[in-house]
Amino acid sequence: MTAAVIAAAPREPSYLAYRGRYSGILGWIFSLDHKRIGVMYLIAQAVFFLVGASLGVTMRLQLMRPDNHLVQPQVYNALFTLHGVIMIFLFVIPSLSASFGNFFLPILIGAKDVSFPKLNLMSWYLFMIGAVVALMSLFTGNGPPDTGWTFYVPYSIRTSTNVVMGLTGVFIIGFSSILTGLNFITTVHRLRAPGMSWFRMPLFVWALYATAWIQVLATPILGITLALVVVERLAGVGIFDPAKGGDPILYQHLFWIYSHPAVYIMILPAMGAITEIIPTFSHRTIFGYKAIAMSSMAIALLGSLVWGHHMFVSGQSDVADITFSLLTFLVAIPSAVKVFNWTATLYKGSIVLEAPMLYALSFIFLFSIGGLTGLMQGALAVDVHLHDTAFIVGHFHYVMFGGTGFGFFAALHYWFPKMFGRSYSDKVARLAWGILFVGFNTLYFPFLILGWLGMPRRYYTYSFPQFASLEMLSTVGSWILVTGILLMVGNFLHAALKGARAEDNPWGGVTLDWKIPSPPPLENFEQIPVITQGPYDGFEGQAPR
Amino acid sequence: MRYGASNTAEAVNSAFLFIFITCVALLALITCLMIAFVIKYHHSRHTQVVNIKGNAALEVIWTVIPTILVLIMFYYGVAGFRVMRVGPANAFQVHVTGRMWSWLFTYKNGIQSDTLKIPVDTTIKTVISSQDVLHSFFIPAFRIKQDAVPGRENHLYFKAYRVGSYDVMCAEFCGLRHAYMLSKVEVMPKQAFFDWYAKNKPKELPKVKPGASRTAQLAARGAQLVQLKGCTTCHSADGSKKVGPSFKGLYGSMVTVATRGKTRTVTADDAYLRRSILEPGADVVKGHLNIMPSQKGLLTDEEAESLIAHIAGLKGGKAEQ
């Protein structure tokens, strides 16, 4: 350890050690440094994830047996609403974009910070204020919202629970997302290092760039929609409630015009991180750079045109159903292209199976299941049966947890040594991965079968004997999964406090993040680098340790 | 060759089968390739990396083949969907009404039923709507589902292949008792069905005749209405505890309610009961949630009166709650 300290001595102080105008906690919450802001997002998201996961585990306990009454029905309805709201708006929408994006976007393009550092800090504040408001709906008014995270009208207008407060929270969080997107777009356009042309940008940056456009273009629609629900609840204006002359299908259109692209806000950055990890641990260049970059943009574009596939049985016209089904199948193609490119990148590489790579490979497997089950739902006739059943819940968790969640864990294992300058135990990390992977599939695969058998979602309890054994299996899976999560969290906490000092480039990566110290100095680069080659060209002749 | 419980089940199953087999094959391909590469090119065996940046032919192939596959899937999906959406003009029509939290099936001759009785081998056209919030009419065995949306009518065609009893569920979250909003489809032999259909001409609700026993007549109507309007889903007649307060011993009793957040005690008289039916949120009984949908516009004055008369008749003995 002392050797490392001495070696580090002549360097600039790291962003963790740097002392500005404020110190202690104030030095963080008033910091304009993109890395500190990224870490603050990371901590907030991790906390929300653990809260959301506990709610999920409680739901599994309730569904463990038929005719179970562990919690009251009203409590269960609040549980799945809060689990959804917290996981979606406070964990997977900011996902890797807010945390790892903030930290690594400037570094990967050779910049000192994002374009608007103050706006960046404000985005974090908006996120936290929105989160607090959303969570306050738990303890105030007539109890927590019980509408599901979709807030479908007319129920959301008629229920007496604290829907307005919850919506206000989500509305505020939306602004955080829009402003972060704006910041990232400007940063990518204006702050790339000399020589870094568009096609020399790392693919994580491409993914963040595509995501940022969806954030800027789609999020305002959600804001307006939720504001209209609030207006309808408080002022009684008939926009969505048919009893007042409104149209409930209109609400579904507006909600999904945002919330379907939002799924790509959630998954694209994770795909980007996977695209960084696979070449590094295969020690070779990425296969099909341009195809991956363009597929990110294609997903962002096509993904904005498929929202109606959430409404095949809502009563929208058959023409709309057929059109949306076709577009939905088309958006599958760029995702498939990415999967093939990742797999091809393994070919003739020199593969090291450390924790980040295990997470990345399992991401491909789990995301493939998520994507392929999506095809089943994209087909009109099949979706009529599967819609609003446990199958959807299973599909969604394969994409969002198996995809974004495992992508998040992959990124965390990949960049943790860079971000905090500490090493975690690879042995424990791999063990935790194994438990997580087994637990995940035990928990969510039964959902797919249950849905095909006809188990609807959002059911407080059930008397049908045909569901009992699979529900039980799924609950056991949740216990395994939680064990894995706790082990992983413990491993990181131990590393943060007592971990050995990390090398600057522990994995042999070639992008700019691995060419600066761990943890990075305040301004990332002593001198802005000049880029002369593609992002994954540095592997030539390099053999793994 | 028929397989499945209905023509819709047949269509969905065959579309699903094709997509399922294709997906399993694709997943197996990706997974096997990943595992094979990880083993073959593990750093302990393979250190001479080859930096292949791409392969135009390969990339075209793996874009075109999936495109063809998904277009076939799209076609199967649309073909199966037509079975549910397009039916003959002479299809047997049943109105399906969702409400918190029961299903009501209304036939053209006026019969109303809480289970869906249909003839086998006959195309049924369901016309689906809702009285309050969104519901979704779901028959898993037939692989069909359609949202019940207030203010509009959605359509769904199907033809049952086998006599039997199948589950009906609500698939769109609709509040507290969503999970209990269940019913059955009884698929009957044609003869048996049409016998039932002819014999069960809707019983005319007893007309109220002027005379001394007007209250008794109203109460008799009320007794039918509580079934038909779905009141008994939440309110018992024997004092047992359900979602809402029991009707037994309610009339004339002292009830603790919250009115605009303030707790007060009121007598359950005619005015109170009428208000509770038409504006359930005005006085919320202590220990119960404010979740009852307003019946304003769903009941005639006389029907409301009948319900009150029925509740008043269930006075006998104090409720044992």
**pLDDT at residue A6 greater than cutoff 60:** no
Contact A55, A142 (CB under 8 A): no
ipTM of the complex: 0.90
Which region among A89-103, A192-206, B36-50, B214-228 has the lowest average model confidence (pLDDT)?
A: B214-228
Topology (CATH level 3) of domain B7-85: Helix Hairpins (1.10.287)
> For the residues B256-278, what does the mean pLDDT come to?
88
CATH of B92-199, one of 2.60.40.420, 3.40.50.720, 3.40.1440.60, 3.40.50.300: 2.60.40.420
Which has more confidence, A544 or A255? A255
Which region among A177-181, A484-488, A492-496, B98-102 has the lowest average model confidence (pLDDT)?
A: B98-102
**pLDDT at residue B317 greater than cutoff 70:** no
A373–chain B Cβ distance below 8 A for any pair:
yes
Distances (CA, A) of A424 to A272, A409, A483, B19, B33: 23, 13, 18, 43, 30
Cα–Cα dist B321/B255, whole Å: 13
> For the residues A354-360, what does the mean pLDDT come to?
96
Residue A508 lies in a domain: yes
Looking at chain A from residue 452 to 481, which residues have their Cβ under 8 Å from any Cβ of chain B?
A: 453-454, 456-462, 464
B92: β partners: B124
Nearest to B15 among A148, A373, A381 (CB): A381
Q: What is the mean pLDDT of chain B?
A: 88
- Locate all alpha helices (DSSP H) within B237-300, ordered by sequence: 270-278
Nearest to A329 among B59, B71, B140 (CB): B71
Whole-number percent of chain A with pLDDT over 90? 84
Which region among A161-175, B32-46, B106-120, B216-230 has the lowest average model confidence (pLDDT)?
A: B216-230
Which has more confidence, B185 or B219? B185
Tens digit of pLDDT for each residue in A417-458?
999 999 999 999 999 999 999 999 999 999 999 999 999 999
Which has more confidence, A142 or B212? A142
Cβ of B141 within 8 Å of Cβ of A454? The answer is yes
pLDDT score of A245: 87
Contact B74, A379 (CB under 8 A): yes
Cβ of B43 within 8 Å of Cβ of A351? The answer is yes
**pLDDT at residue B191 greater than cutoff 60:** yes
Return the closest-CA partner of residue A89 out of A153, A149, A178, A164: A149
Residue to mutate among A375, A386, A510, with most B CBs inside 10 A, is A375
Q: Nearest C-alpha of chain A: how many angstroms from B268?
A: 23
Q: Which residues of A touch B50 (CB under 8 A)?
A: 284, 348
Residue A113 lies in a domain: yes
pLDDT score of B120: 96
Nearest to A368 among B27, B80, B81 (CB): B27
Cα–Cα dist B90/B88, whole Å: 5
pLDDT score of B260: 81
**pLDDT at residue A137 greater than cutoff 90:** no
Q: Nearest C-alpha of chain A: how many angstroms from B254?
A: 25
Cα B198 versus chain centre, distance: 26
Q: Identify the top-confidence range among A56-60, A221-225, B211-215.
A: A56-60
Cα A302 versus chain centre, distance: 19
pLDDT score of B230: 80
Which residues touch B243 (CB under 8 Å, ≥6 apart)?
Answer: B176, B177, B233, B234, B288, B289, B291
Cα–Cα dist A319/A326, whole Å: 11
Tokens for A463, please give them. Answer: 């008397």
Cα–Cα dist A239/A250, whole Å: 9
pLDDT band at B215, cuts 50/70/90?
A: confident
pLDDT score of A17: 86
Cβ of B42 within 8 Å of Cβ of A353? The answer is yes
pLDDT score of A543: 53
Cα–Cα dist B139/B103, whole Å: 12
**pLDDT at residue B225 greater than cutoff 90:** no
Residue A527 lies in a domain: yes
**pLDDT at residue A402 greater than cutoff 60:** yes
**pLDDT at residue B211 greater than cutoff 80:** no
pLDDT score of A431: 97
**pLDDT at residue B318 greater than cutoff 80:** no
Residue found by looking up tokens 């004055």 in the block: B301
In the chain, the amino acid numbered A160 is S
Cα–Cα dist B50/B53, whole Å: 9
Length of chain A, in residues? 545
Cα–Cα dist A368/A87, whole Å: 21
Which has more confidence, A23 or A118? A118
Q: Which residues of A touch B34 (CB under 8 A)?
A: 343, 346, 361, 364-365
Cβ of A315 within 8 Å of Cβ of B84? The answer is no
**pLDDT at residue A542 greater than cutoff 60:** no
**pLDDT at residue A3 greater than cutoff 80:** no
Which region among A15-29, A69-83, A111-125 has the lowest average model confidence (pLDDT)?
A: A15-29
Strands B164-170 and B135-139: antiparallel
Cβ of B47 within 8 Å of Cβ of A288? The answer is no
> For the residues B121-150, what does the mean pLDDT come to?
95
Residue A545 lies in a domain: no
**pLDDT at residue A4 greater than cutoff 50:** no
**pLDDT at residue B20 greater than cutoff 70:** yes
Q: Which residues of B touch A203 (CB under 8 A)?
A: none
pLDDT score of B219: 84
**pLDDT at residue B321 greater than cutoff 70:** no
**pLDDT at residue B320 greater than cutoff 70:** no
Q: What is the mean pLDDT of chain A?
A: 92
Nearest to A454 among B63, B76, B140 (CB): B140
Nearest to A329 among B53, B73, B291 (CB): B73
> For the residues A381-385, what does the mean pLDDT come to?
96
Tokens for B42, please give them. Answer: 């593990």
Number of CB pairs, chain A paired with chain B, less than 8 A apart: 271
> For the residues A505-530, what does the mean pLDDT come to?
93
Instruction: Give the domain extent around A204.
Output: 3-531
**pLDDT at residue B284 greater than cutoff 90:** no
By C-alpha distance, the chain B residue nearest A461 is B179
Residue A302 lies in a domain: yes
Tens digit of pLDDT for each residue in A78-128?
999 999 999 999 999 998 999 999 999 999 999 999 999 999 999 999 999
**pLDDT at residue A159 greater than cutoff 80:** yes
Q: Which residues of A touch B75 (CB under 8 A)?
A: none
Examine residue A154 and say whether the peptide bond preceding it is cis (omega within 30 degrees of 0). yes
Q: Nearest C-alpha of chain A: how many angstroms from B72?
A: 10
Whole-number percent of chain B with pLDDT over 90? 53
pLDDT band at A33, cuts 50/70/90?
A: very high
Cα–Cα dist A495/A501, whole Å: 9
pLDDT band at B46, cuts 50/70/90?
A: confident
**CATH number for the segment(s) B212-315:** 1.10.760.10
By C-alpha distance, the chain B residue nearest A66 is B179
For chain A, the domain total comes to: 1
pLDDT score of B206: 58
Nearest to A242 among B62, B70, B150 (CB): B150
Residue A538 lies in a domain: no
DSSP label at residue B143: T
> For the residues A281-293, what does the mean pLDDT come to?
94
pLDDT score of A541: 56
> For the residues B247-260, what does the mean pLDDT come to?
87
Q: Kindly list the domain boundaries of chain B, sorted by start residue.
A: 7-85, 92-199, 212-315
Contact B161, B190 (CB under 8 A): no
Contact A285, A279 (CB under 8 A): yes
Cα–Cα dist B124/A462, whole Å: 28
- CATH number, domain at A30? 1.20.210.10
Cα–Cα dist A431/A450, whole Å: 29
**pLDDT at residue A7 greater than cutoff 60:** no
pLDDT band at A404, cuts 50/70/90?
A: very high
pLDDT band at A254, cuts 50/70/90?
A: very high
Residue A543 lies in a domain: no
Tens digit of pLDDT for each residue in A312-339?
999 999 999 999 999 999 999 999 999 9
